[in-house]
Amino acid sequence: MSSRQILEFDFPYYKNTKDLIGRLRRQEIDGVIFRGFMPAEIAFSRARYLLANPDIMRNSYCPYGRMYARTLVGVGHQLDRYFDDAQVFKEECERLFDPEYNFQSHLENLLLKISGDRQVKVPQGPLGQFYSPVTIRYVQPGGAIAPHCESLYFEAKKPEFKHLHQLAEETTQFSFFMPMALPEAGGNLMLYDLDWEESNHNSNGQSSQANFRTFLASRELQTAPNQVNVAIGDLIIFDAGRIWHCVSEVRGTNPRLTIGGFICFSQDDRTVYYFS
Ligand SMILES: O=C(O)CCC(=O)C(=O)O
Ligand SMILES: [Fe+2]
């Protein structure tokens, strides 16, 4: 049984959802799954189309597969390339999904519904350029995403986050994603019973993947992470800055495709920013 609290809602998500984002922020819950955010057959048909025509969208390589187009994490000083790719991606992504199923507008409508009275925006760069609203992540068979918290990456002192953290506070980051294609086995989001603060506190403020492993190994009984089942077309939002998580190895011959990004908050907590 999972010791993480993930709430689930069925479409059209009207009941008790008004300030889910606030509940996540106050750490009353760990995550939320919106079942049937998009019809599974639509999400999957878009994945099939992209897999059959991989070059219709600009992409970059990453250790476990490929990314359409590029996330801010790891961009370093190449922000010009990031913003250029972000622009191209937005247009390509609008072509991939029919207007009726435009992922970004679906997402924005949902976020408006669950963010209390906050505004919902894609952040804009120093010259007014938009950050990428989302990206598509391709994990190839045999690939996996190693344990991490987004807090490992989202540091104002890193060159790629310097500007963003003038707009957004540094303490809270959520992740969101919708699976478009899933493998025969594996490729699951796993949440550990370990928070960033705890691992940080117990390792002299030097949180890293290396001392995460040491820390987990020292806890004899609680090492098995909680598997979260997110189906094709469902959307999950979870407290990825705080909770150590990973994606288990993709087994079989089919890749895993997800579309998603991150959420953070303006310093005055009046605006929800989503981007990737
Ligand atoms: O499942 C994905 O595509 C990304 C998983 C992850 O690490 C995240 O959403 O923060
Ligand atoms: Fe993550």
Q: Would you state the pLDDT for residue 223?
A: 63
Inter-residue contact 44 to 96 (CB < 8 Å): no
Closest by CA position to 160, among listed 224, 81, 94:
81
Structure confidence at residue 61 as a pLDDT band (50, 70, 90): confident
Q: Would you state the pLDDT for residue 30?
A: 98
Q: How far apart are CA 97 and CA 109, in angstroms?
A: 16
Q: How far apart are CA 98 and CA 89, in angstroms?
A: 15
CA 236 to chain centre: 8
Taking only the tens place, the pLDDT of each residue in 141-161 is: 999 999 999 999 999 999 999
Ligand 1 close to Cβ of residue 179 (< 6 A): no
Structure confidence at residue 234 as a pLDDT band (50, 70, 90): very high
Strand 60-62 to 271-275 pairing: unpaired
Q: Would you state the pLDDT for residue 202?
A: 62
Q: Would you state the pLDDT for residue 204?
A: 58
Q: What is the mean pLDDT of residues 93-110?
A: 96
Structure confidence at residue 76 as a pLDDT band (50, 70, 90): very high
Task: State the distance from the centre of ligand 1 to the C-alpha of 175, rounded, in angstroms.
Answer: 7
Ligand 1 close to Cβ of residue 264 (< 6 A): no
The amino acid occupying position 194 is L
Q: Would you state the pLDDT for residue 221?
A: 45
Q: How far apart are CA 185 and CA 70, in angstroms?
A: 26
Domains of the chain: 6-190+229-275 (2.60.120)
- pLDDT of residue 133 exceeding 50: yes
Pocket test for ligand 1, best of 245, 250, 274, 276 (most atoms within 8 A of CB): 245
Tally the C-alpha atoms within 13 A of residue 27's C-alpha that lie toward its C-beta: 10
- pLDDT of residue 222 exceeding 70: no
Inter-residue contact 43 to 50 (CB < 8 Å): no
- pLDDT of residue 201 exceeding 60: yes
Ligand 1 close to Cβ of residue 189 (< 6 A): yes
Whether pTM > 0.75 for this model: the answer is yes
Give how far Cα 253 sits from Cα of 68, 183, 258, Å.
20, 7, 17
Inter-residue contact 216 to 223 (CB < 8 Å): yes
- pLDDT of residue 218 exceeding 70: no
What rounded mean pLDDT belongs to the chain?
93
Inter-residue contact 195 to 242 (CB < 8 Å): yes
Share of the chain above pLDDT 90, in %: 84
Q: Would you state the pLDDT for residue 215?
A: 73
Give the ranges where the chain is alpha helix by DSSP (H).
Answer: 20-25, 40-52, 79-96, 103-114, 164-167, 196-201, 209-217
Comparison of pLDDT for 122 and 62, the residue scoring more: 122
Residue 178 dihedral angles phi and psi, to the nearest 5°: -125, 120
